[in-house]
């Protein structure tokens, strides 16, 4: 703004004969000061007006940004579902001996559509660039894994998933207590080996038994396939619920596997927790055909060095689902001679939904606790319970009238839990759970880890860190 002051001749005062040159200079300075003060007042008014205008514009821009950010969050949810569909297709491709081009093409179309919807919903929104970039990176990694699996290149698929680990983790775990790994890890088992943690999970794009590694329980790295080769009697693409234990210099990996249409249990060994594990058996270790098959093996080593195995029979021929225990022979690859399975637990409570499975035996200072999952694993009703036992072979009871871990804000249908202890002595529970808005197949079951505390002599799942 330009300020113009005009003085006409009539406005000019008559010369003062008594005014000295100094007096005239002083009057001139006073006049200039008045002009400066006027300019400053006007400038202040302008600044205030600009500030008010800018504040109003900022509020308008912020409102629009918030609206677009809400759309972005919805798009993120769609992208997460797209990731789950991709993983489900990968598992389906791995389960088939031949890869159908139509299935891969259909998945590519679904992912491309999800990406397009995401881009459209966040166009021009700078505040959401972080989310957009990470989602795109995650989707690209999953798409790459799909293409590699279709081409029969599993090692490249593992590399593609590894490259997208960080971005997918940011998409799926935006707050404290969220999943610690962004991909599907059903039925996890975490062990501590000298301060390094290893997590094993049901078959996925990374192989028959996937394996992750971490030094802090927060950041996990995909190592690949812990069990790259199956025995000739086992069906490829149907290996799940691993349980790993170290005995001396060897690590034993017990796992469920399909054999000629029946669910059975086998075991593999390795000198390293990172594998590869080798199963040279000629047949299953346990296979209760008349009881609907045997699944979810979990090893337990007592203080005297005796090894036990707990597992679940599905139930058949009028028999309910049952959790069993039996001693294992020295060497870990056969059941103890002369021993027989002992029933530890059957469903007796309404919340269990006639299902008990996924057992894990844990000893805390001489107190034996049997952790187990119950209800339908496909739903948000799936939950984790605990029973007290007199020893690794029972007998056991169900003292609590409900689960110790069920659906909450961060996850739905938690289960498949195991317990481990850090070098500092803090017990943690690891388990899988659905995203609350994506429950049931083909969505992913993600890996969660929570501390365990004790209340009234029973283990209780503690609050997440952060």
Question: Which of 128-142, 200-214, 271-285 is modeled with the greatest confidence?
Answer: 271-285
Angle subtended by helix axes 129-150 and 165-172, to nearest 10: 120
Closest CA to 404 of 438, 378, 422, 427: 427
pLDDT of 50: 36
Q: What percent of the chain has pLDDT over 90?
A: 56
pLDDT of 152: 78
Q: Are 387 and 345 in contact (CB under 8 A)?
A: yes
The model's confidence at residue 2, banded by pLDDT at 50, 70 and 90, is: very low
The model's confidence at residue 172, banded by pLDDT at 50, 70 and 90, is: low
- Ordered by start, the domain boundaries in the chain are 60-162, 180-461
pLDDT at 298 over 90: yes
- Token pair belonging to 342: 């002992």
What's the pLDDT tens digit per position in 94-151? 555 444 445 566 666 666 665 555 555 444 443 344 456 677 777 777 778 778 877 8
Question: Which of 38-52, 148-162, 199-213 is modeled with the greatest confidence?
Answer: 199-213
Least confident of 66-70, 247-251, 252-256: 66-70
The model's confidence at residue 16, banded by pLDDT at 50, 70 and 90, is: very low
Token pair 């490249």 in the structure block, residue: 156
- Segment 324-339 shows an average pLDDT of 96
pLDDT at 212 over 80: yes
pLDDT of 59: 39
pLDDT at 308 over 90: yes
Token pair 């919807």 in the structure block, residue: 117
SS (H, E, C) the chain: CCCCCCCCHHHCCCCCCCCCHHHHHHHHHHHHHHHHHHHHHHHHHHHHHHHHHHHHHHHHHHHHHHHHHHHHHHHHHHHHHHHHHHHHHHHHHHHCCCCCHHHHHHHHHHHHHHHHHHHHHCCCCHHHHHHHHHHHHHHHHHHHHHHHHHCCCHHHHHHHHHHCHHHHHHHHCCCCCCCCECCCCCCCEEEEECCEEEEEECCECCECCEEEEECCCCCCEEEEECCCCCCCCCCCCCEEEEEEEEECCEEEEEEEEEECCEEEEEEEEECCCCCCCECCCCCCCECCHHHCCEEEEEEEECCCCCEEEEEEECCCCCCCCEEEEEEECCCCCCECCCCCCEEEECCCCHHHCCCEEEEEEEEECCEEEEEEEECCCCCCCCEEEEEEECCCCCCEECCCCCCCECCECCEEEEEEEEEEECCCCCEEEEEEEEECCECCCCCCEEEEEEEEEEECCEEEECCCCC
What's the pLDDT tens digit per position in 368-419? 999 999 999 999 999 999 999 999 999 999 788 899 999 999 999 999 999 9
pLDDT at 51 over 70: no
Average pLDDT along the chain:
80
180-461 belongs to which homologous superfamily? Glycosyl hydrolase domain; family 43 (2.115.10.20)
pLDDT at 338 over 90: yes
């Amino acid at each position: 703004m330009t300020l113009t002051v005009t003085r006409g001749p009539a406005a000019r005062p008559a010369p003062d004969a008594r005014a000295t040159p100094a007096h005239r200079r002083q009057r001139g300075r006073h006049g200039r000061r008045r002009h400066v003060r006027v300019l400053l007042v006007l400038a202040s008014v302008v600044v205030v007006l600009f500030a008010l205008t800018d504040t109003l514009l900022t509020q308008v821009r912020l409102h629009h940004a918030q609206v677009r950010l809400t759309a972005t969050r919805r798009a993120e949810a769609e992208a997460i579902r797209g990731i789950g569909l991709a993983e489900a297709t990968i598992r389906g491709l791995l389960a088939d001996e031949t890869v159908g081009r139509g299935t891969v093409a259909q998945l590519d179309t679904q992912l491309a559509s999800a990406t397009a919807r995401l881009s459209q919903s966040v166009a021009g929104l700078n505040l959401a660039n972080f989310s957009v970039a990470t989602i795109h990176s995650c989707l690209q990694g999953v798409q790459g894994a799909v293409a590699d699996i279709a081409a029969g290149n599993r090692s490249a698929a593992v590399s593609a998933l590894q490259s997208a680990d960080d971005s997918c983790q940011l998409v799926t775990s935006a707050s404290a207590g969220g999943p610690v790994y962004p991909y599907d890890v059903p039925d996890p088992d975490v062990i501590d080996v000298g301060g390094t943690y290893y997590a094993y999970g049901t078959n996925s794009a990374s192989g028959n038994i996937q394996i992750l590694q971490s030094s802090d329980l927060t950041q996990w790295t995909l190592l690949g396939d812990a069990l790259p080769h199956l025995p000739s009697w086992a069906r490829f693409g149907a290996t799940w619920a691993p349980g790993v234990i170290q005995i001396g210099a060897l690590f034993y990996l017990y796992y469920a596997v399909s054999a000629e249409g029946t669910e059975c249990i086998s075991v593999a060994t390795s000198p390293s927790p990172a594998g590869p594990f080798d199963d040279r058996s000629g047949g299953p270790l346990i296979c209760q055909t008349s009881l609907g098959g045997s699944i979810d093996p979990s090893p337990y080593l007592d203080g005297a060095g005796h090894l036990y195995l707990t597992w679940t029979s599905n139930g058949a021929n009028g028999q309910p689902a049952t959790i069993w225990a039996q001693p294992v022979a020295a060497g870990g690859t056969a059941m103890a001679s002369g021993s027989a399975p002992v029933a530890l637990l059957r469903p007796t409570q309404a919340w269990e939904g006639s299902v008990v499975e996924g057992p894990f035996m844990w000893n805390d200072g001489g107190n034996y606790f049997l952790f187990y999952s119950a209800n339908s694993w496909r739903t948000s009703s799936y939950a984790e319970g605990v029973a007290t036992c007199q020893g690794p072979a029972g007998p056991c009871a169900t003292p609590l009238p409900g689960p110790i871990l069920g659906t909450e804000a961060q996850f739905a249908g938690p289960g498949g839990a195991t317990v481990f202890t850090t070098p500092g002595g803090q017990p943690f529970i690891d388990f899988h759970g659905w995203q609350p808005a994506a429950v049931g197949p083909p969505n992913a079951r993600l890996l969660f880890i929570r501390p365990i505390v004790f209340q009234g002599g029973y283990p209780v799942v503690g609050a997440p860190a952060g």
